[in-house]
Amino acid sequence: MISFNMPPYVGTEFTYIQEAIDELKICGDGTFTHQCSTWLEERFGTRRALLTTSGTSALEMAAALCDIKPGDEVILPSFTFSSTATAFVGQGARLKFIDVRPDTMNMDERLVEAAITPRTKVIVPVHYAGVACEMDPIMDLAQAHGIRVVEDAAQGVMSTYRGRALGTIGDFGCYSFHETKNYSMGEGGALLIRDEEHIEQAEIFREKGTNRSPCSPPICGHSSGRRIASTKTASPHGTAIATPSSPWRSRNASSFSTFPLTAYTTLICSISSAATSRTAPPS
């Protein structure tokens, strides 16, 4: 039997777990988290990268940042994972599904314009299997109609469109580091933020309505009441699988033939994602 996926393990994971324990801070936003966020920002050229507990959490943050009101419409492909839809339904959006292209299984960009109405608030291209959607026509339509774009790039880490990293083209990009993804940390994700104006609010959402993030001002804002920041020790094996000498990387080289993997360093380890499940709102 051929396994659907094989969780990577290369032997240095326990070293990183021990480092996290020795620092006496395992709740997230420690040394590993900051290193990884910085690496993602510099490698992909995004304004801010915030680690989350899952790709779903990243999508939910993006939906909240789009300021969707009940009845607003969101355009998305009919072929995608449930989280692409539920993240926006949770904000009160009405979904408008369009068909996908048979050659890529991605949103058919030729069908987007006909789906736009005065209530359209967001377009959500999904880069299925890391294959890029045709982003230029989608972005042109979004700009012409004043619509935000949230890229579901859960499977698109290290993939590009016309030289630009997937997840950095729209207003927001969402990555997943789930066990089944090319870069797996067990569970985890990241929200990529293109514009400075959204960073402050995103930091507050991520910290459950508080200003605990060192990047947030001394104010409180709306909170989803959920824990979506990543923890530090959840998947330290991420460090190991990203190193150039990783045997896991060698075994899976064919899967990454289109990716510039030589740029990867051990900083991606820090993705230390997965972590804490969502918790109840703090009392």
- Residue 16 pLDDT class (50, 70, 90 cuts): confident
Give residue 13's identity as a one-letter amino acid code.
Answer: E
- Tell me whether residue 89 is exposed, middle or buried, using C-beta atoms within 10 angstroms of its C-beta: 0 to 12, 13 to 18, 19 or more: middle
Alpha-carbon distance values, 8 to 71, 98, 155, 200, 216 (Å): 43, 36, 16, 35, 35
CA distance 106 to 108: 6
User: pLDDT tier at 215 (50, 70, 90 boundaries)?
Assistant: low
pLDDT at 276: 27
Which residues have a catalytic role annotated? Answer: 181
Condensed to tens digits (0 to 9), the pLDDT of residues 247-283 reads 444 444 333 333 232 222 222 333 333 322 233 333 3
Nearest to 29, CA basis, from 20, 17, 42 = 20
Cα atoms found within 13 Å of the Cα of residue 30, Cβ hemisphere only: 22
Tens digit of each residue's pLDDT (9 = 90 or more) over 82-126 = 999 999 999 999 999 999 999 999 999 999 999 999 999 999 999
- Enter the CATH code of domain 13-271: 3.40.640.10
Bridge partners of residue 10, in order along the sequence:
none
All residues at 6 or more sequence positions from 274 whose CB lies less than 8 Å from its CB, including other chains: 53, 54, 177, 185, 186, 187, 188, 230, 231, 234, 235
Domain-by-domain residue ranges, the chain? Answer: 13-271
